Chains A and B, each alone.
Chain A
Amino acid sequence: DVKVTQSSRYLVKRTGEKVFLECVQDMDHENMFWYRQDPGLGLRLIYFSYDVKMKEKGDIPEGYSVSREKKERFSLILESASTNQTSMYLCASSLRNEQFFGPGTRLTVL
């Protein structure tokens, strides 16, 4: 079974803090994705990566950056957290047609 794990289920940070969300997959997938999920807006793609050290902006990259130093790990970075980044963050990986999702990190920025 494919497993996608995220470092935290719940996270509380203060405005201005630097925040790291980690995602690890164990199936040697090339593609990895970060989404945020908000009520009434569905899932919106922040960034994705199709290979180590390769990344592409998604639909809402502003305020975020990513890092992919190893194939299995894809990190989302909030350089200076703001209250409007309070959300559920979902990581996914895929080889071909199907994306496999982690359980999500619910981030609250106070």
Chain B
Amino acid sequence: GDSVTQMEGPVTLSEEAFLTINCTYTATGYPSLFWYVQYPGEGLQLLLKATKADDKGSNKGFEATYRKETTSFHLEKGSVQVSDSAVYFCALRRSGGSNYKLTFGKGTLLTVNP
């Protein structure tokens, strides 16, 4: 079945540090890939997405590139801020079908210290 594996946290960084959160997936075909973010006390929000190989999703300074050859979708940001402290989830949606079901990774807690 489909699965998503992301690096275990927690990840603690200082402000302005470089961030990478690794995400790899297992799925048949060509899934769509997503990063969601959950700020403290809130639900999940879509951060960025990519729907085909070599696509780069970007938003709020975050980027991730869909790499089919390595089945990866790593999240990066060049300079993190305290306000980026949150839980980050990698997810995939299988290609085809009509139910739009997502498979999520377990989440990575990021804490950014001033």
Contact = CB atoms under 8 A, between A and B. Distances in A.
B99 interface: yes
Contacts of A4: 43
A45 B42 contact: no
B89 A50 contact: no
Nearest to B43: A101
A43 B105 CA distance: 8
Q: How large is the interface on A (under 10, 10 to 19, 20 to 34, 35 or more residues)?
A: 20 to 34
Given A4-B43, A90-B43, A103-B42, A97 B104 contact: no
A90 B41 CA distance: 12
Given A42-B106, A97-B93, A98-B49, A103 B43 contact: yes
A91 to B, nearest CB: 8
Given A90-B43, A104-B43, A99 B106 contact: no
A92 B98 CA distance: 16
Interface residues of B, number: 22
Contact of A101 (B45, B99, B100): B45
A56 B44 CA distance: 22
Interface string B38-76: 000111111001010000000000000000000000000
Contacts of A12: none
Interface of B: 32, 34, 36, 41-46, 49, 51, 89, 93, 98-102, 104-107
26 contacts: A4-B43, A31-B99, A33-B101, A41-B106, A42-B89, A42-B104, A42-B105, A42-B106, A43-B89, A45-B101, A48-B99, A48-B101, A50-B98, A56-B99, A90-B43, A90-B44, A94-B100, A96-B100, A97-B32, A98-B49, A99-B44, A101-B36, A102-B43, A103-B41, A103-B43, A104-B42
